[in-house]
Structure 1
Amino acid sequence: MIIGVDVGTSVTKASLLGRDGSALVTHSKRSALHRPGGGRVEQDLDEVVDSVVHVVQRVVAAAAQAGETVEALALTGQGDGLWLRDEAGHSVGNALSWLDARAATALQEWAESGVQQEVYAHTGAGMFPGSAGPLLAHLAEHEPDRLERAAVAGYCVDAIVQRFTGEITVDASDASLPFLDVPRRAYSDEALRACGLAEHRRLLAEPAPRGQLFALGGKAAAELGLPAGLPVSAGPFDLPACAFGSGVGAVGDASLVIGTTLGCQVLRDDVHIEPGGEPAGMWLATPLADRYLRVMPAMVGTANLDWVLSTVGHDVGDLESLLAGSERGAGGVSALSFLSTSGERAPFVDAKARGQFTGLSLETTRADMVRAMCEAVAYAARHNLETAGLTGQVAACGGGARSAEWSQIFADVLGRPLHVPHEEGVGARGAAMTAWDSLGEPVDRQQWAAARRTVEPDPAAAAFYERGYREYLASIDRARPHWGGATA
């Protein structure tokens, strides 16, 4: 069996996974986000490492009790942000989360000067405030000493790998945003120069080759309760891991991650960067040869739901009854779901993007408010998936997919079946699938993909939401000029 670990933004999970894709046991631990003000969102690397040790120890104990042998440790986790470390793997200041907004001004200047468009032309990466490019530029201007003290500017997964194995590396999926020429799996010097970061090229670890495995170090092995030298697989990061772990396999298939991020991605067999196109989303390298993911990761997914539920005095336990208590169309109330402080990054980039409710009246109920936001998130999912090139099946995962009512809204808005895996930890599944490939023991992908429930769209609801979707697109066009600093 393999222990798959998913180091999320708010929760770290570890699962003991068998070759049929099922989890024998799963343990989780909450992670802390630190918000010191000024749009800054940070994490303490030591706290994150401790959360991984905590959950893995418990899974190791369960494996021993069940008499199961652990073949490898497979890691995945949150992408983007900036995790600066020294040669020994110690953090140089707190890690900057992908939710961080301190570089919004720098990114806006790049949008106005054409830098953002130039980088997109070279790598197909649409940057946002919490991506490595603007964060590095912000530190270079305001805290250059941190960059001088750092040996590597990486991401969450490779930070854990360095602690556990001593290796300085990065998975190509993480490295894809924003400096990687994805088909070549090599950094673009032109993109680095455009951002004024050529002198900091030394901080970027070379992407690991496909199938690379690392060896668990003695100190980490003792902490985790695993044998020294155990194979460690690093990546892909959580979005592509969720795609493969949820059953995406054919070109045109999509993965919809209804989590903190609304992760929308479609498997492609080519990388096509549209000249002059909106610099949004990203192209990701994957563990598979000649397969890429076109990703449109909207900034906010289930956090929209959490916010509106809190605002109307409810919690997630009330979601099913609230959605059932409001008819489709939410009593004439509609919403835009751009609630992130950092604005939006897909399918357009605008640091000033903001959410809204329209159509409110004295007759509007709390249930209407909740349904309107859930419908808005579903519209955003369709907008992103269609932009990414959806032509096949859609697999859904994440906390939002647990809701039967919300899953039905997604299926109706998309106008196609929604396939939801029975195993919720699809990120860890995707990491484990990659690890077995690297061990030369690939799993039966069709068997894994079959273990899911299907939510069929209701034809009448799909027709209703088709009209609603067109109005949703029009409402974005009407709203953008009022956000300030928006670009067409």
Structure 2
Amino acid sequence: MSFILGIDLGTSSVKALLVSEGGEIVGDSSQEYPIYSPSPDWAEQDPEQWWESTIRAVRKAVHQSHIKPSQIKAVGLSGQTHGTVLVGKSLLPLRKAIIWMDQRSIAQTRWLQQRIGKRLSRITGLPIATGFMAPSLLWIRKNEPGIWKKIDQFLLPKDYIRLKLTGNLASDVTDAGGTLLLDTGKRKWSPEILQKLEIPASFAPPLYESCQVTGKITKNAAKAIPLKEGTSVSAGGADQIMGAVGNGIVEPGRVACSIGTGGLVVTPMDHPQVAPDKGLHTIPHAIPGKWILMGAILSGGSSLSWFYKQVILGRGKTLRSENSYQSLFREVSPTPAASKGLIFLPYLKGERTPYLDPQARGAFVGLSLQHGRRDLTRAIMEGVVFALRQSLEKFKELGIEITSVTTWGGGAKNKLWRQIQADIFNLPILISPTQEGSAYGAAITAAVSIGIYPTIKEACREWIKIKGEVLPIPENVAVYNKAYLIYRGLYSKLKDDFHGLSEL
């Protein structure tokens, strides 16, 4: 029997998923790695730690599944998008990777907005934001000229894993779609943008569609990781797009929501509909000739993680197990909707959709002596979903009809958070068959790349079966609609104060 390996290089961990030809998960594992913040608002990771963690995750998944490496016929890659990995002629990293959460390039984003803002967004389909590759490259050129002179290629995070597996420098159109350097309609690097930003075209790696083969496992890689030399590696894609594939979001009208480190909502389109003025991203889909419209928030599950680790446990203490989070959720369950009049703004790393404001700051609004830990926890969960509702509202403004939302990621694992999504969105929530949707989607692209299925749509029809449905509770919907109106008005009232505080 043959199997497919999906690898998802996330923000906090890498996940390895082994899947049978029929779509059954037979092995899975994850390995964590740190985020480094050498200066305030910086966020970096070590590409070599990604690779070491990937080796461990794949070894564990293969051991767990009791299959032979020779039975794994293809590998698909997914990864955190927007980040910047720089390699020299030796194909080794020149510095730590600047990842999507990084806020250091505020000056560069302002320069981009002033010089070619509207034209840039029309070509790329993206709003201009910190953490994207283009402003990060501009920051490096200004502040690290020695590094800039040594650059041979830039890569997206998952593409460094591809390099280690195959020895090839390559990327895919979905991940390139988050760099601010891609012509999203043409699905090619934009010569106009590269020229205007004075970024050498030679820095950009070759681009592939998600289901194309980009290389084979090398002899050296096969010595380090339990994969057979010569095994195919597909292009794969950005984690948001692979998550959409892994949840069957391949037809217009389907909408999915993920709460991981950040949070996002996505929907497919037959044509690129560009709306950066609404804070929305237009990115090539993994299906050739299709696109994804996406709204994104920067602090989703990380808001809850911050509260648990920094406030409840205290700085320097470590999370003992996933059960610790579950005990927190159980404690919250009896609390009423809208947390007794308490609202949380999840802008702990600034915000993307709809505000595009790296200087926005988090806040609890409405605190009183009646509020305890469980109320604050629920307010955080609700605040994250309120933020995601703003993206859904932007979809509706573009004429997109939404009848249900498929949920995946960490926010889909918890029954209460699923119910909060149903109540705040006032929509049925469909439960994904796997919460590792991005790794599963990467496995689908790999299965298609070697001909197990002719298309992504056919693979999704065979592999993906919705597990269940959560319906809105009318009483909660009424409460949340009132609270949302207050939530939506808070940013504009606090914006100037956020900016003042960020400059202290």
How far apart are residue 17 of structure 1 and its match? 0.6
The structure 1 residue matched to 2:8, chosen from 1, 6, 9, is 6
Query: The residue matched to 2:469 in structure 1 has which SS?
Result: strand
Correspondence 1:237 to 2:248 = no
Amino acid corresponding to residue 470 of structure 2 in structure 1? V
The residue that corresponds to 1:302 in the other structure is 301
The residue that corresponds to 2:341 in the other structure is 332
How far apart are residue 349 of structure 1 and its match? 0.6
Query: The residue matched to 1:168 in structure 2 has which SS?
Result: coil
Return the alpha-carbon distance in structure 2 between the equivalents of residues 390 and 17 of structure 1: 33
Query: The residue matched to 1:153 in structure 2 has which SS?
Result: strand
How far apart are residue 441 of structure 1 and its match? 1.9
CA contact (8 A) 1:330 1:368 kept: yes
Provide structure 2 residue ranges, at least 5 long, that are not aligned to the other structure: 314-323
1:326–1:311 distance in 2 versus 1, CA, 3 Å: farther
Return the alpha-carbon distance in structure 2 between the equivalents of residues 377 and 371 of structure 1: 10
1:425–1:185 distance in 2 versus 1, CA, 3 Å: same
Query: The residue matched to 1:329 in structure 2 has which SS?
Result: helix
Cα deviation code 1:413-447 (max 9, x no counterpart): 11111112232221111001111111122254234
Runs of 4+ displaced beyond 6 Å:
none
The residue that corresponds to 1:91 in the other structure is 93
Return the alpha-carbon distance in structure 2 between the equivalents of residues 310 and 59 of structure 1: 28
Return the alpha-carbon distance in structure 2 between the equivalents of residues 311 and 367 of structure 1: 16
How far apart are residue 205 of structure 1 and its match? 1.4
Query: The residue matched to 2:43 in structure 1 has which SS?
Result: strand
Return the alpha-carbon distance in structure 2 between the equivalents of residues 180 and 428 of structure 1: 24
CA contact (8 A) 1:422 1:452 kept: yes
The structure 1 residue matched to 2:469, chosen from 446, 449, 454, is 454
Query: The residue matched to 2:266 in structure 1 has which SS?
Result: strand
Between 1:129-138 and 1:33-42, the stretch displaced more is 33-42
Return the alpha-carbon distance in structure 2 between the equivalents of residues 203 and 282 of structure 1: 24
Q: What number of residue pairs does the alignment pair up? A: 479
How far apart are residue 118 of structure 1 and its match? 3.2
Between 1:409-418 and 1:432-441, the stretch displaced more is 432-441
Return the alpha-carbon distance in structure 1 between the equivalents of residues 356 and 118 of structure 2: 11
CA contact (8 A) 1:171 1:234 kept: yes
Q: How does 1:111-122 map to 2 (within 5 A)?
A: 111=113, 113=114, 115-122=116-123
Amino acid corresponding to residue 432 of structure 2 in structure 1? P
CA contact (8 A) 2:209 2:288 kept: no
How far apart are residue 210 of structure 1 and its match? 5.0
Amino acid corresponding to residue 482 of structure 2 in structure 1? R
The structure 1 residue matched to 2:330, chosen from 296, 316, 321, is 321
Return the alpha-carbon distance in structure 2 between the equivalents of residues 212 and 378 of structure 1: 36
Query: The residue matched to 1:184 in structure 2 has which SS?
Result: coil
Cα deviation code 1:379-431 (max 9, x no counterpart): 11111133244624311111121111111001111111111223222111100
How far apart are residue 312 of structure 1 and its match? 5.0
The residue that corresponds to 2:53 in the other structure is 51
How far apart are residue 86 of structure 1 and its match? 2.1
The residue that corresponds to 2:129 in the other structure is 128
1:252–1:319 distance in 2 versus 1, CA, 3 Å: farther
Return the alpha-carbon distance in structure 2 between the equivalents of residues 318 and 420 of structure 1: 22
Aligned-residue CA RMSD in angstroms? 2.2
Return the alpha-carbon distance in structure 2 between the equivalents of residues 311 and 246 of structure 1: 33
The structure 2 residue matched to 1:420, chosen from 389, 410, 431, is 431
Return the alpha-carbon distance in structure 1 between the equivalents of residues 500 and 279 of structure 2: 16
CA contact (8 A) 1:117 1:279 kept: no
CA contact (8 A) 1:300 1:338 kept: yes
Q: How does 1:50-449 map to 2 (within 5 A)?
A: 50-65=52-67, 69-111=71-113, 113=114, 115-177=116-178, 178-194=180-196, 197-209=197-209, 211-213=211-213, 214-274=215-275, 278=277, 280-310=279-309, 313=312, 316-340=325-349, 343-388=350-395, 389=400, 391-442=402-453, 444-449=459-464
CA contact (8 A) 1:247 1:395 kept: no
Return the alpha-carbon distance in structure 1 between the equivalents of residues 359 and 6 of structure 2: 37
Between 1:369-378 and 1:55-64, the stretch displaced more is 55-64
Return the alpha-carbon distance in structure 1 between the equivalents of residues 377 and 269 of structure 2: 34
Provide structure 1 residue ranges, at least 5 long, that are not aligned to the other structure: none
Cα deviation code 1:136-161 (max 9, x no counterpart): 00011111221221111111111111
CA contact (8 A) 1:79 1:174 kept: yes
How far apart are residue 351 of structure 1 and its match? 1.4
Cα deviation code 1:260-302 (max 9, x no counterpart): 010221111111224xx52623211122122111111211100
CA contact (8 A) 2:241 2:286 kept: no
Return the alpha-carbon distance in structure 1 between the equivalents of residues 144 and 311 of structure 2: 41
Amino acid corresponding to residue 375 of structure 1 in structure 2? E
How far apart are residue 171 of structure 1 and its match? 0.8
Return the alpha-carbon distance in structure 2 between the equivalents of residues 199 and 108 of structure 1: 18
Return the alpha-carbon distance in structure 1 between the equivalents of residues 146 and 415 of structure 2: 50
Amino acid corresponding to residue 420 of structure 1 in structure 2? I
The residue that corresponds to 2:316 in the other structure is none
1:170–1:221 distance in 2 versus 1, CA, 3 Å: same
How far apart are residue 198 of structure 1 and its match? 2.6
Between 1:55-64 and 1:147-156, the stretch displaced more is 55-64
Amino acid corresponding to residue 323 of structure 1 in structure 2? V
Between 1:173-182 and 1:37-46, the stretch displaced more is 37-46
Q: TM-score, normalised by structure 2?
A: 0.90
Query: The residue matched to 2:412 in structure 1 has which SS?
Result: helix
Correspondence 1:41 to 2:43 = yes
How far apart are residue 47 of structure 1 and its match? 1.2
CA contact (8 A) 1:417 1:456 kept: yes
Return the alpha-carbon distance in structure 1 between the equivalents of residues 68 and 202 of structure 2: 46
How far apart are residue 211 of structure 1 and its match? 3.0
Amino acid corresponding to residue 229 of structure 1 in structure 2? G
How far apart are residue 4 of structure 1 and its match? 1.0
Return the alpha-carbon distance in structure 2 between the equivalents of residues 36 and 347 of structure 1: 28
Return the alpha-carbon distance in structure 2 between the equivalents of residues 339 and 67 of structure 1: 42
How far apart are residue 241 of structure 1 and its match? 0.6
